């Protein structure tokens, strides 16, 4: 029996009074969070804010995939430190490192406490990297885990890469070609977006959400709009909900098809690589036909969508979707029918289900490990409350599984879009939005193409954002990539990396 009796329970995009969130003694808070996760819940977010009395208040948001309920509680750390949750709850490890860097409080007992994004503490507190009061130094900015032994060597890759990709540093501990350990260091794309959101919404707010992870414009903007609409008590028109769903699934299609093409390129299979490169453009152009932007910018806004579809546009999109569906099937099925491709995909970068569950993996990477976890099914909102998509899973946890889950989802997304175009509701596509109410708290979840997007918004006494937290799915999943490399050949890294295809900028907010 999962005990969350001391937590405040809510639904997805279901606002509550901030004052109703329990403030527990920290030992009780830690015990309840660790116990609930051990019993099957998972840590959607662990975030913190500085209070007026110079203490730090830490919030835990627990997600129950079986019931679709969200549980929240908090605790304060008045003395600059708190007992780390990470030794008993690995899902907390990166959240605690982030809290330490942002607010200068130390999670005592954290096994690998080092910076996440390399910046000064927002709170003005000194960061504890050098150790408090002359104590032995903690793990520093440039420290990396090292494996000692005969013929063990390090391979350092990045942050500047040979390809046109974002910056990230990968430190491999190897014996010959075998990878013993991979440590991933990011933070090079840090722009301070969450801090800039405080005091909003303002004229720049929507721009930040559309560009914080440029390949997930629709997903993050929808999560923000759902949060704002929930706080106000507004329901976007039915037509707008359907158009948002179409745009979100087109975003999923463009990225999934592009990823399958990139995986084909990584194993030197050029027919699918060339085909999918063109098909990704076709799906992006369908999004452009909706709003003028291939990435969906300027489409989704609080209250609904800015652009509507005329009947002739609906017909054109339906026809283009059918053509893309046929060509995608031809290109992708070449992969599954080519033994040399399957030999490279199968049993490469395997991640066991138990490991994936313990670290809180989300999205296609989790579903490829056999975990039935999808916000559209577990925490449905908007159009997904009325039009359901089955959860696509596979059980092997390898590169093949991560590729094949994408193919299953491509087929489901095409079916969903076709159905929505056939039965688009009438009426307006946007509603008027009023000011945000003071003292509210909301958790907004969206299933982006990489996985679960989580936005947490808190309004202050003036109705402006007093705290806003964004968790991109990459924040949960980078550690999964590191674990998938253990025991692999170092030459398998590009293929494993592409099979996750995580965001640097979405991680470095």
The pLDDT of residue 1 is 58
| Confidence band for 133, pLDDT divided at 50, 70 and 90 | low
| Confidence band for 473, pLDDT divided at 50, 70 and 90 | very high
Q: How many CA atoms lie within 13 A of 457 on its CB side?
A: 32
The pLDDT of residue 127 is 78
Q: Is residue 141 part of a domain?
A: no
According to DSSP, the residues that pair with 468 across neighbouring strands are 457
What residue numbers bound the domain in which 17 lies?
8-116
The phi and psi torsions of 9 (rounded to 5 degrees) equal: -105, 140
User: Residue 294 has what DSSP assignment?
Assistant: T
Count other Cβ atoms within 10 Å, centred on residue 103: 21
The pLDDT of residue 135 is 57
Q: Is residue 486 part of a domain?
A: no
Tell me which H or E stretch contains 154.
Answer: strand 152-157
Same domain, yes or no: 106 and 208: no
pLDDT at 487 over 60: yes
Find the mean pLDDT for residues 134-160.
81
- Alpha carbons 438 and 64: distance in angstroms, whole number: 28
The pLDDT of residue 496 is 97
Q: Is residue 466 part of a domain?
A: yes
pLDDT by residue (tens digit) across 398-419? 999 999 999 999 999 999 999 9
The pLDDT of residue 132 is 58
The pLDDT of residue 118 is 83
pLDDT at 228 over 90: yes
User: Residue 386 has what DSSP assignment?
Assistant: T
Q: Is residue 32 part of a domain?
A: yes
pLDDT at 235 over 90: yes
- The per-residue b/e assignment along 22-53, b for 16 or more CB within 10 angstroms, e otherwise, is eebebeebbbbbbebbeeebbbbbbbbbbeee
The pLDDT of residue 126 is 77
The phi and psi torsions of 491 (rounded to 5 degrees) equal: -70, -15
Q: Is residue 485 part of a domain?
A: no
The pLDDT of residue 208 is 96
pLDDT at 389 over 60: yes
Q: Is residue 131 part of a domain?
A: no
- Alpha carbons 147 and 170: distance in angstroms, whole number: 15
Find the mean pLDDT for residues 305-330.
97
| Confidence band for 143, pLDDT divided at 50, 70 and 90 | confident
pLDDT at 39 over 80: yes
- Alpha carbons 57 and 136: distance in angstroms, whole number: 27
**Percent of the chain with pLDDT strictly greater than 90:** 88
The phi and psi torsions of 100 (rounded to 5 degrees) equal: -60, -45
Same domain, yes or no: 361 and 458: yes
pLDDT at 124 over 90: no
pLDDT by residue (tens digit) across 425-455? 999 999 999 999 999 999 999 999 999 999 9
- Alpha carbons 104 and 35: distance in angstroms, whole number: 26
| Confidence band for 163, pLDDT divided at 50, 70 and 90 | confident
The residue among 86, 116, 146 that closes a domain is 116
The residue among 79, 96, 116 that closes a domain is 116
| Confidence band for 273, pLDDT divided at 50, 70 and 90 | very high
Q: Which residue has the tokens 């997805």?
A: 12
* Counted domains in the chain: 2
Q: Is residue 212 part of a domain?
A: yes
Same domain, yes or no: 201 and 78: no
The pLDDT of residue 54 is 83
pLDDT at 128 over 80: no
| Confidence band for 105, pLDDT divided at 50, 70 and 90 | very high
Q: Is residue 178 part of a domain?
A: no
Spell out the alpha helix ranges (H) of 80-125.
93-103
Same domain, yes or no: 88 and 202: no
Report the candidate in 290, 266, 288, 289 with the shortest Cα–Cα distance to residue 276.
266
Are the beta carbons of 7 and 61 closer than 8 angstroms?
no
The residue among 58, 86, 116 that closes a domain is 116
SS (H, E, C) 50-70: ECCCCCEEEEEEEEECCCCEE
The rounded mean pLDDT for the chain is 94
| Confidence band for 501, pLDDT divided at 50, 70 and 90 | very high
Q: What is the CATH number of the domain that holds 84?
A: 3.30.460.80
Are the beta carbons of 398 and 348 closer than 8 angstroms?
yes
What is the β-pairing status of strands 81-83 and 106-108? parallel
What is the β-pairing status of strands 440-447 and 452-459? antiparallel
pLDDT at 137 over 90: no
3-state DSSP assignment of residue 83? strand
Q: What is the CATH number of the domain that holds 418?
A: 1.10.645.10
pLDDT at 374 over 60: yes
The pLDDT of residue 161 is 83
| Confidence band for 3, pLDDT divided at 50, 70 and 90 | confident
Same domain, yes or no: 71 and 199: no
The pLDDT of residue 140 is 66
pLDDT at 369 over 70: yes
3-state DSSP assignment of residue 72? strand
- Alpha carbons 33 and 28: distance in angstroms, whole number: 9
């Amino acid at each position: 029996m999962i005990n969350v009796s001391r937590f405040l329970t809510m639904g997805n995009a279901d606002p509550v009074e901030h004052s109703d969130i329990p403030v527990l003694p920290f030992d009780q808070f830690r015990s309840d969070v660790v116990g609930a996760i051990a019993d099957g819940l998972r840590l959607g977010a662990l975030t913190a804010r500085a209070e007026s009395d110079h203490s730090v208040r830490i919030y835990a948001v627990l997600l129950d995939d079986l019931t679709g309920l969200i549980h929240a509680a908090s605790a304060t750390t008045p003395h600059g430190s708190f007992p780390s949750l990470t030794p008993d709850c690995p899902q907390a490890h990166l959240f605690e490192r982030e809290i330490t860097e942002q607010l200068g409080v130390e999670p005592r007992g954290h096994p690998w406490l080092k910076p996440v994004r390399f910046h000064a503490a927002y709170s003005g507190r000194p960061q504890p990297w050098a150790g408090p009061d002359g104590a032995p130094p903690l793990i520093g900015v440039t420290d990396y885990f090292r494996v000692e032994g005969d013929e063990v060597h390090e391979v350092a890759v990045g942050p500047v890469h040979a390809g046109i990709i974002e910056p990230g540093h990968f430190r491999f501990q190897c014996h010959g070609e075998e990878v013993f350990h991979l440590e991933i260091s990011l933070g090079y794309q840090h722009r301070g977006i969450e801090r800039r959101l405080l005091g909003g919404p303002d004229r720049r707010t929507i721009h930040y959400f559309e560009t914080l992870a440029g390949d997930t414009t629709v997903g993050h903007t929808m999560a923000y709009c759902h949060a704002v609409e929930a706080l106000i008590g507004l329901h976007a028109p039915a037509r707008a909900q359907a158009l948002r769903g179409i745009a979100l699934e087109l975003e999923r299609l463009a990225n999934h098809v592009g990823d399958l093409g990139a995986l084909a390129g990584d194993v030197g299979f050029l027919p699918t690589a060339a085909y999918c490169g063109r098909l990704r453009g076709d799906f992006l152009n369908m999004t452009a036909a909706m709003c003028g932007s291939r990435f969906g910018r300027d489409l989704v806004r609080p209250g609904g969508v800015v652009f509507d579809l005329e009947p002739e546009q609906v017909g054109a999109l339906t026809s283009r979707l059918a053509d893309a569906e046929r060509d995608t099937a031809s290109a992708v099925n070449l992969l599954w029918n080519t033994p040399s491709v399957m030999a490279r995909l199968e049993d490469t970068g395997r991640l066991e289900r138990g490991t994936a569950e313990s670290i809180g993996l989300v999205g296609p990477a989790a579903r490829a490990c056999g975990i039935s976890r999808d916000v559209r099914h577990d925490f449905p909102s908007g159009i997904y409350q009325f039009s359901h998509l089955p959860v696509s899973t596979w059980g092997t946890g390898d590169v093949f599984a991560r590729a094949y889950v994408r193919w299953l989802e491509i087929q489901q997304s095409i079916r969903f879009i076709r159905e929505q175009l056939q039965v688009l509701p009438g009426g307006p596509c946007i509603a008027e939005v009023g000011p945000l109410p003071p003292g509210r708290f909301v958790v907004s979840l969206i299933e982006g193409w990489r996985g679960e997007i989580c936005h947490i918004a808190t309004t202050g006494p003036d109705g402006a954002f007093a705290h806003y937290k964004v968790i991109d799915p990459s924040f949960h999943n980078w550690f999964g990539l590191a674990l998938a490399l253990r025991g692999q050949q170092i030459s398998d890294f590009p293929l494993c990396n592409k099979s996750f295809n995580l965001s640097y900028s979405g991680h470095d907010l």
